[in-house]
């Protein structure tokens, strides 16, 4: 059975923008109905940007409207000329010459929709270099005026699982960094409290010592052998 180019991203868009049932979306994307429900509940696919199957020609608006009006209807996938990314072997990513001109567009899309990705991740994902990423980010790229953000999956520069994996890793790294910062803040608070505790304890002790010395001086005056009062 033919499936859309980005099944999970397509499911995200259909859940957010249509009234289709979970069963209809699952049938079109090849996913399990429970997985589609998990997307609707926000339990999975967090951070994935939805892809409009009508905009990329994989579904007609008429077919979508028909399915929304009939819960028993099934969506039909259109044949498109969108290049399908090929599975690559381990090692450095090779980008065909014909697709290298698309990399700035893919970089711009990743910087816009997934700023949590590091330059190293973007570089590995679409086979580019860090100087190119920097030039796209600060708009110093020689072709900056013509760069239009486009999904690297639809451009055939990477696969949806590769993009999703990179996003998950980046989000996990951000979460760990936030937790580490919170732990460091708590540690500093404990150290500050521990340093302040001895000083707070010394102050009452000093006051008590001064109070105990005052009666002693009075007693010594009363017992003066010279009779001075």
Look at residue 153 and tell me if it is in a domain.
yes
Number of domains the chain contains: 2
Q: Which of 82, 98, 124 is at the close of a domain?
A: 82
What's the pLDDT tens digit per position in 103-119? 999 999 999 999 999 99
The pLDDT of 169-176, averaged and rounded, is: 86
Residue 224's pLDDT band (cuts 50, 70, 90): low
Q: Are 115 and 171 found together in one domain?
A: yes
Q: Which of 82, 117, 139 is at the close of a domain?
A: 82
Predicted local confidence at residue 164, as pLDDT: 85
> What is the C-alpha separation between 221 and 46, in angstroms, rounded?
83
Exposed, middle or buried by CB within 10 Å (0-12, 13-18, 19+), for 56?
A: middle
The pLDDT of 154-176, averaged and rounded, is: 87
Q: Are 68 and 100 found together in one domain?
A: no
Residue 3 has pLDDT above 70, yes or no: yes
Q: Are 165 and 192 found together in one domain?
A: yes
Look at residue 218 and tell me if it is in a domain.
no
By residue range, what is the domain housing residue 143? 88-197
Predicted local confidence at residue 214, as pLDDT: 54
Look at residue 224 and tell me if it is in a domain.
no
Q: Are 57 and 145 found together in one domain?
A: no
Look at residue 229 and tell me if it is in a domain.
no
Residue 62 has pLDDT above 80, yes or no: yes
């Amino acid at each position: 059975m033919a499936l859309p180019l980005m099944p999970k991203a397509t499911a995200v868009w259909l859940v957010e923008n249509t009234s289709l049932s979970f069963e209809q979306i699952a049938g079109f994307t090849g996913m399990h109905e429970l997985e589609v429900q998990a997307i609707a509940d926000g339990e999975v696919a967090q951070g994935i940007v939805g892809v409009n199957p009508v905009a990329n020609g994989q579904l007609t608006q008429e077919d979508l409207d028909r399915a929304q009006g009939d819960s028993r209807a099934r969506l039909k996938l259109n044949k498109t000329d969108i290049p399908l990314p090929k599975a690559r072997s381990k090692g450095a990513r090779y980008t065909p010459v014909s697709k290298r001109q698309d990399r700035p567009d893919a970089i711009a899309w990743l910087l816009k929709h997934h700023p949590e990705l590091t330059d190293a991740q973007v570089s590995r994902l679409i086979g580019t270099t860090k100087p190119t990423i920097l030039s796209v980010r600060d708009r110093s790229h020689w072709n900056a005026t013509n760069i239009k953000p486009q999904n690297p999956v639809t451009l055939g520069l990477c696969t949806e699982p590769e993009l999703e994996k990179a996003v998950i890793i980046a989000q996990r790294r951000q979460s760990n960094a936030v937790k580490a910062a919170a732990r460091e803040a708590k540690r500093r608070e404990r150290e500050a409290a521990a340093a302040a505790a001895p000083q707070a304890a010394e102050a009452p002790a000093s006051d008590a010592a001064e109070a105990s010395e005052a009666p002693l001086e009075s007693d010594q005056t009363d017992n003066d052998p010279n009779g001075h009062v």
